[in-house]
Chain A
Amino acid sequence: MSWSELSLGPGTWLLAVLGGGLLGMDAVSWPQVMVSRPLVSATVGGWLMGNPVAGMLVGAVLEVYALRHPPFGAAKYPDTGPAGLVAGASYAASGGAAMGALLLSVALGWALGWIGAVTVHVRRRLNERIMSPAGELAADPGLLEQRHRVAIWLDGLRGAILVAAFLVPSMLVVTLVVGTGPSSLGRYAVASLVLGLAASAGAAGRSSAFGVRGWPLILVGAGLGLLLILGGLT
């Protein structure tokens, strides 16, 4: 796969941008049905490029990473909707088979998730202006409804802009890596991702556990996974 073989029609690009808008809205503004989770958004990205399996593999890795960032209280967390779509689409567009492309897609998706988090912060500041002055809005409930809806649409616009800005560059960069075959460092690169997944799962497990007493369950779970593999069920 090279740049010359890469194809992205205007219709697909537009669909991705519109999808980015919906996914951007879902996480916080409306309707919070969790299509913004990387598991879904990356699969949608892969599906847009004709390879949902590749998209879902990226989404699964990003999801395990995202699990350790529950939006408790004022915690910061990555905006995984548009980011997942871009990452899943990039890996799928690159052919969905090269290891280097998978590693880069996941890293780019994670980075874009945090860029998205910054835009969420900016949008919240903007909402302060949109939803004021309070007295004026209270006096005219119709205006309150209108401004609230504008704020939701702006969140959608934020997601759409993220996809519009990053989809093509990300696809180009990931496709460039496809030609880079495995080297002596290849095994360390894969091991690095695997260990990263394990560390992320451990940290995520702790955030959902009620105290430290749940650690043996991680081992039991891993043992169950091992049994499924040895039993040929994967």
Chain B
Amino acid sequence: MKPLRSDHFAAWSRTFAVQGSWNYTTMVGTGVAYALLPLLRRIYAGDPVRLRESVERSMRPFNGHPYLCAMAVAALGRLEQDEVDPATIDKFRLALRGPLGTVGDRAVWGQWRPVCALVGIMAFLLGASPGWSVAGFLVLYNVGHIAVRAWAYITGWQAGLEVGRLLNGAWLERWAEKIWPLNILLTGAVTLLLAAAVVEQAALSLAPAALLGIGVVGALLAFRFPRQGGRLATVLLVIAPLLWLVGGLVG
């Protein structure tokens, strides 16, 4: 039986919880099965044996970016409806894992989320209230988030087996390659504004020009050597309150 529109909506809305039972054995596999169930129940209505077999298949190890898992859920549902043989479905799942993870990670976690967060922080540092700044971040981010999930689901259902080919060079990947300069630009601007806000809050006589110079050199070195830069950042974060406390104790 063909899934109804309500089944598609139920499956799509369940993709918001696709990582709910993430574990080291099946990764997001059990979540994919959970999201697929509304479709599978309709497709195999009245045939519990085939339903059990398809659920078992769906629970097998799988991984991918959680937003793009909507594409996998819809495409797998389409293959089940089209009665594609199980061996092909297994191969398809395996082939989809890499691209779904890479494209989603680079575009959403690597670009979209930082850009939206930096816009929110910048709004705050330029005088917007915390409420508006946070609301701006959440609205901006989730417009993109929900659009990606909807696009992924619709594309997955329409393309079925062809999804892998469509992902290669998809708009999401091209878009990520275009937006990264904005991301870095905002990172530089927001960090400087935030550092200035912290210095102002401190109300201490600091040498702002020297601090700016050392900060710029530090940022550039961390850009060149990110692992060491990240470690240094953590050490400095821990040292800061310790210095304050020790200074306060010794007078």
Contact = CB atoms under 8 A, between A and B. Distances in A.
A172 B242 CA distance: 17
A222 B216 contact: yes
Interface stretch (B71-79, B120-128, B163-171): B120-128
B86 interface: no
B222 A200 contact: yes
A147 B56 CA distance: 15
Contact of A131 (B26, B129, B201): B26
A223 B185 CA distance: 10
Given A60-B194, A201-B219, A39 B134 contact: yes
Interface in B181-227: 181, 183-199, 201-206, 211-212, 214-216, 218-224, 226-227
A29 B20 CA distance: 4
Interface residues of A, number: 109
Given A34-B138, A148-B17, A203-B229, A57 B201 contact: yes
Most chain B Cβ neighbours within 10 Å, of A43, A144, A177, A198: A198
A201 B222 contact: yes
Contacts of A209: 180, 183-184, 223
B247 A67 contact: no
B189 to A, nearest CB: 4
Contact of A52 (B130, B177, B216, B240): B130
Given A218-B184, A221-B186, A224-B189, A190 B223 contact: no
Contacts of A7: none
Contacts of A217: 181, 184-185, 188
Interface in B74-129: 101, 105, 109-111, 113-114, 117-118, 120-121, 124-127, 129
A51 B238 CA distance: 25
Given A194-B195, A229-B196, A33 B56 contact: no
Nearest to B237: A196
B190 to A, nearest CB: 7
B31 interface: yes
Contact of A187 (B51, B205, B216, B238): B205
Interface in B231-251: 232-251
A35 interface: yes
B94 to A, nearest CB: 17
B23 interface: yes
A55 B130 contact: yes
B175 interface: no
**Residue of A72, A147, A218 with highest tally of chain B CB at under 10 A:** A218
Given A63-B117, A198-B195, A103 B244 contact: yes
A203 B223 contact: yes
A117 B146 CA distance: 26
B137 A144 contact: no
Contacts of A204: 114, 187
27 contacts: A30-B16, A32-B67, A33-B138, A34-B142, A60-B197, A64-B194, A72-B105, A73-B101, A100-B241, A100-B245, A100-B248, A103-B240, A124-B23, A148-B31, A152-B21, A190-B204, A194-B215, A199-B219, A201-B188, A201-B219, A203-B230, A205-B183, A214-B181, A221-B186, A222-B219, A225-B189, A229-B193
Interface of B: 16-17, 19-26, 30-31, 33-34, 37, 40-41, 51-53, 55-56, 59, 66-67, 101, 105, 109-111, 113-114, 117-118, 120-121, 124-127, 129-131, 133-134, 137-138, 141-142, 145, 177, 180-181, 183-199, 201-206, 211-212, 214-216, 218-224, 226-227, 229-230, 232-251
- Nearest 6 Cβ contacts at the A-B interface: A221-B188, A185-B247, A202-B222, A225-B192, A183-B247, A180-B248
Interface of A: 28-35, 37, 39-40, 43, 46-47, 52-53, 55-57, 60-61, 63-65, 67-68, 70-73, 97, 99-100, 102-104, 106-107, 110, 124-125, 127-128, 130-132, 134-135, 137-139, 141, 144-145, 147-149, 151-152, 155, 177, 180-210, 212, 214-215, 217-226, 228-229, 233-234
